[in-house]
Amino acid sequence: MKSMKSTTKQLMTTDALEVLSAQDAEGAWVVGGAVRDALAGDHHDRFDLDIAVADAESWARTSGDALGTLAVKISAHFDIWRIPLPDGQIDVWELPDNDIERDLRRRDFSVNAMAVPLDYFLQGRILATVIDPFGGRDDVDLRVLRLVSDGALRDDPLRMLRAVRLEAEHAWRPDAELRSAMRRDAGLINNSAAERQWEELQRIILSDNLPWALRRLEQSGLLDRILPELAVGRGVDQRPVHRRDVFWHQIDAVRWITRLTSSSAPRATRASAIWQELEPLLSVAPIRDSLDDWRLPLRLATLLHDIGKPETRTVDVDGSTHFFGHSELGGEMAGRRLTELRVPSKTTRQVELLIEQHLRPGQVNSPGKPPTDRALHRFHTALGDAAIPLCWLFLADSLATAGANALLPRWRGYAAHVARILAWQPKRATQTGRILDGNAIMEATGLQPGPLVGEIRAKIDEAAAVGEIAGIDEARDLARQLAQAETVSPSRLTAGR
């Protein structure tokens, strides 16, 4: 077992350790997760340190100045100050009446309701100095989450999400009473700030235990309240194509996207025929890097990709179901929900794009025929760097639709289809990606700036990509032809009428 001193150092950066060691430690206590992780021997890439001290504002500002950062107040209800750091954060709590046991009584779980004097914590002298009024050390040994009090979740409903996150990230298992209390109090979760919900939710989504975490969220009732658009899919039948209803289909798709993108897939997964067909693609660095970069929006989009189906469902006389327009509607719905959760706008836009386009990889070719250069050019033009994650969403969606056993005989074809899409390159590539820019087109055609110039440029780009033109002179000729055709018959102005 590692010494407490070495574990303490692993929890903190060298700079933070030195700065805090130089601060006034009188009456300052390390509480919460840092004590828990030190006792459990857990090591994380980033550290979250909670310090309880009288006059939290003064202590936080002084420490923040010493660390070269600005301490900010983060709670409207509690006197909590955050010192943000590049690889973590220090939260400083006000300690009323210098009473540490009173502070611990208001915390969430027994494993988080332990405290160690700051100077002893920094020295690694934890076992001999820990204050543990609720039996947290025993629960650390069992890796169990147990409530400090029956009202702890009502005091701060976000603690329900934190329990799921701790289980997903670090295998801390909620006990029966906590699970029961979460079902009882799930309806209170939206009393917590959207920003705080998202802070916990994104860490759950990024965990490789996401499928199990979703089951915990679903069983507790939290999932329906945080993402109510999912709940509407329960019981929405999709036969004969889909084997499960809309809700469980999306949950299954998340299970597959987690397996297909995991950086630490278990041996059994790597040995499966599903994985082996994709392994050549996953060994390509740009593909692997793209899936890593898009991990968060890809998993979110997979979870929400069919939320537009309940509202768009129609049934033919023969019983076949259709969901025309569900991808576009789903993108809009996801955008609204993520905006309410205060998800960063870039992530929201990425999720919207993936949902709106999630049918496209399956539609890029005619049945029984490979996709044409023109179709592939349009695919990559529309998707840009989203092309790789969209193909993986297509694969996960397909597996969730039919099931692995039913799809396995055709799986090699699915993998080859994705490989063909991603391997495509334009026939003529230039440094800027186009033969003529807007100025060159206006010079060749005499057109004034406007939408028509952009439309002509796109058609020239496509003609070059599929090999219909090969040089600047041919591009200029095509620009003049297109400009003349639009002048004589302005179809772009009438096509939508």
- Tokens (6 digits) for 359: 């049918």
Count of all residues that appear for the chain in the document: 497
Same-domain status, 133 and 187: no
Contact between 222 and 161 (Cβ < 8 Å)? yes
This prediction has a pTM of 0.86
Bond into 240 cis (ω within 30):
yes
Task: Judge if 319 and 397 occupy the same domain.
Answer: yes
pLDDT given at position 488: 53
Q: In which band, very low, low, confident or very high, does the pLDDT at 5 lie, cut at 50, 70 and 90?
A: low
Asked if the structure places residue 446 within a domain, the reply is: yes
- Output 63 or 492, whichever has higher pLDDT: 63
Residue-wise pLDDT tens digits, 78-125: 788 999 988 888 999 999 888 999 999 999 999 999 999 998 998 889
**For residue 369, is it within any domain?**
yes
Q: Give the pair of three-digit tokens for residue 486.
A: 């639009």
Q: Are residues 346 and 249 in the same domain?
A: yes
- Tell me the mean pLDDT in the region 379-405: 95
> Which residue in the block uniquely carries the two structure tokens 């070495």?
6
Confidence of residue 273 (pLDDT cuts 50, 70, 90): confident
State whether 47 and 165 are in the same domain. no
Please check whether residues 85 and 212 belong to one and the same domain: no
- Are 215 and 305 in the same domain? no
- The set of long-range contacts for 261-267, using a CB threshold of 8 Å and a minimum separation of 24, is 261/291, 261/295, 261/298, 261/299, 261/392, 262/208, 263/208, 263/292, 264/208
- The yes-or-no verdict on residue 29 having pLDDT over 80 is yes
In a domain, 405, yes or no: yes
- The verdict on 371 and 482 lying in the same domain is no
Short-list 159, 330, 142, CA closest to 233: 330
Domain that holds residue 457: 438-494
Same-domain status, 276 and 397:
yes
Element housing 155 (H / E) = helix 152-155
Average pLDDT for 359-363? 95
Is there a single domain that holds both residue 257 and residue 376?
yes
What is the Cα–Cα distance from 218 to 199, expressed in whole angstroms?
19
Domain-located, residue 235? no
Q: Are residues 276 and 305 in the same domain?
A: yes
What's the domain count of the chain?
4
Residue 138 and residue 16 in one domain: yes
Q: Which domain-ending residue is among 182, 200, 226?
A: 226
Q: What is the pLDDT of residue 267?
A: 64
Same domain, 126 and 184: no
The per-residue pLDDT for 18 is 72
Domain end marker among 92, 109, 143: 143
Q: Which residue in 50, 45, 20 sits closest to 35, CA to CA?
A: 50
Work out the average pLDDT over 14-19: 68
Q: What are phi and psi of 82, to 5 degrees?
A: -110, 135
